[in-house]
Amino acid sequence: MKKSANLAPLFGATLLFATLTCNPLRAGAVSLTVDLDPATAGVQSTLTVAPGDSFNVAILIADALNVNGFALDLGFDPALLSATSVSDGGFLLAPTFVGLNVLGTSKVEFDEVTLLPLGASGSGVLAMLGFDAVAAGVTTLSLTGSALTAPFGSPVSIASLNNATLTISTPTGSVSEPESIALFSVGLLGLLAGRRSPSLKAASRSRSTQKALG
């Protein structure tokens, strides 16, 4: 009985190791997804905004098992977007440490790891990012280069990286500020011209009358 009792912890550790290494989630079912509208239920992979709009983006993780850290690398077109913020989404077990936080001109880099020798499982939000729409066009927000780790730095394979497509366009019927100024200028010139016309006509009639009297 003593021998069996002594082997019990070893057997339990072996069973735990087998469960973690053979579980299909660790085999590659984990996914990362860009959600363009976190305030709306479900994942929004497409969104249309106007130039000058500010909006938030969530990076979601699904079907995770024992994730201890992550490195996010979200790329975008710098001619159309400007990154304004990035923050922790609360998925990892606290306390956490942010190793990299860079708002680049064409990508956002954000690395975080829990200080516990444990990992988080399930689904949730890895990070929240803020953007400003700079100009009209279409850009892809791409997660290429992102990675996940288990405790002690062991890599976790990612089954899918689900990117998103953002369209920036001026709403139909609206007029941009430069166009508004141009239209106002043309209207003002037309108004002034209209006001001058009666005066010119009156002056012409006065000259004609003077000639007739002379």
Q: How far apart are CA 206 and CA 200, in angstroms?
A: 10
What are the pLDDT digits (tens) for 81-92? 999 999 999 999
Determine contact, residues 131/54, Cβ cutoff 8 Å: yes
User: What is the domain range of residue 64?
Assistant: 27-168
- Tens digit of each residue's pLDDT (9 = 90 or more) over 198-211: 554 555 555 554 55
Domain assignment of residue 122, yes or no? yes
> Which residue did the predictor score with more confidence, 78 or 173?
78
129 and 159 share one domain: yes
Report the C-alpha gap between 49 and 89 in whole angstroms.
23
Same domain, residue pair 107 and 186: no
pTM here? 0.70
Mean pLDDT of the chain: 81
Provide the pLDDT for residue 171.
84
Domain count, the chain: 2
Q: What is the tens place of the pLDDT at every residue in 90-146?
A: 999 999 999 999 999 999 999 999 999 999 999 999 999 999 999 999 999 999 999
HSE-up of residue 191 (Cα within 13 Å, Cβ side): 6
Structure tokens at 151: 């405790």
Are the C-beta atoms of 60 and 126 separated by less than 8 Å?
A: yes
